[in-house]
Amino acid sequence: MITIEGLVKEFRVKNRDKKYIIKKAVDNLSLQVSKGEIFGLLGPNGAGKTTTIRMMTMEMQPTSGKILYAGRTSEADALAIKEMIGVVPQNINFDNDLTVGENMELHARLHHMPKNQRKQRIADMLDFVELSNTVNLMPRTLSGGMKRRLLIARALIHNPSILFMDEPTVALDPQVRRKIWDLIRSLAANGTTVILTTHYIEEAEALCDRVAIVNEGRLIALDTPEAFCQRMGKIAVEWDSPEGRQYRFFDTRKEAAVFAGELEHSAHIRRSNLEDAFIELTDREEGM
């Protein structure tokens, strides 16, 4: 289990007058993630997702607040916690002078994996992401989807119990994305805790046990995807008006049909989804 309590990250940034101002990227964030859970962090660009992940993976020091990994803090148990954590970063960051296999080898060494285990583990992880035949290639020669899968294989090399994935499927085609979903599900089914960020709301809906929505560094809602949809009303009526696309939500299809029947415009009736909840919640915040 991972617990975050009152996490804050402030950056000192220079404004136009060359004066320093304090920018709060993460603002008093508290949440808990259970073992084996797939937990989604959602929020608009600049919401503070990557900053949160970087603090949780010990890449960055919080300004204040606490992170507990199974009750332990990174100050007290830095090395042990590093061994528990795997990271799939938002930006692809292979060493481009090394082959795929050498990149994996480097990572295994960084995690002090014994020599007699390294070769087999690298082969197994490349096999897991279906990249066995790339071991002697240079990473830059791989396609975008292959690079993302290689990032996952690299993150798993030391068998971490907690995997952080920052936009693991960005810019991937639907087939590759679904392959990565299957990988994530099989990891969680084997007890790995997965914390991921994504802008693909259907991805969070398909994968995540629970989802936290953050905006401007603050937690604005946390629930299961189903509960988010229930909160809105299970059925959506969607129609176009001169003011743009409009939505209303209802608990039953019957109520939705009565409402739609009274509209001047033709309307579409469908099940509500996490994207509806995301837009409602983040719009409402922006309007405040």
Ligand X SMILES: Nc1ncnc2c1ncn2[C@@H]1O[C@H](COP(=O)(O)OP(=O)(O)OP(=O)(O)O)[C@@H](O)[C@H]1O
- Residues near ligand X (CB under 6 A) are 11, 13, 23, 25, 43, 45-51, 90
Per CB under 5 A, 169 contacts Mg ion: no
Scanning 1-9, 28-36, 46-54, 70-78 for contacts with Mg ion by CB under 5 A, the matching segment is 46-54
Whole-number minimum distance, CB 46 to Mg ion, in Å?
8
Question: Please, which residues bridge with residue 206 across strands?
Answer: none
By CB under 5 A, the residues from 5 to 34 that bind Mg ion are none
Angle of CA points 21, 25, 31, to nearest 5° = 150
The amino acid at residue 277 is: A
Phi-psi sector, 62: left (phi>0), alpha (psi -120 to 50), beta: beta
Q: How far is the CB of 143 from Mg ion (least distance, A)?
A: 22
Which of Mg ion, ligand X, none does residue 225 bind to, with CB < 5 to 8 Å depending on kind? Answer: none
What is the distance between the alpha carbons of residues 28 and 4, in angstroms, rounded to a whole number?
9
Query: Quick one: which of 4, 27, 179, 168 has its CA closest to 86?
Result: 168
Per the CB < 8 A criterion, the answer to whether 272 and 247 are in contact is no
Q: Which residues pair with 214 in a beta bridge?
A: 219
Query: Of the two residues 90 and 99, which places its CB atom closer to ligand X in the complex?
Result: 90
d(CA 139, CA 99): 6
What does the per-residue mask of binding to Mg ion show for 88-117, with x meaning CB under 5 A? --x---------------------------
Residues in the chain: 288
23 binds, among Mg ion, ligand X, none (CB under 5 to 8 A by kind): ligand X
CB of 9 to ligand X, least distance (A): 8
Residue from 50, 74, 103, 169 in contact with Mg ion (CB under 5 A): 50
Q: List interacting residues with Mg ion (CB under 5 A).
A: 49-50, 90
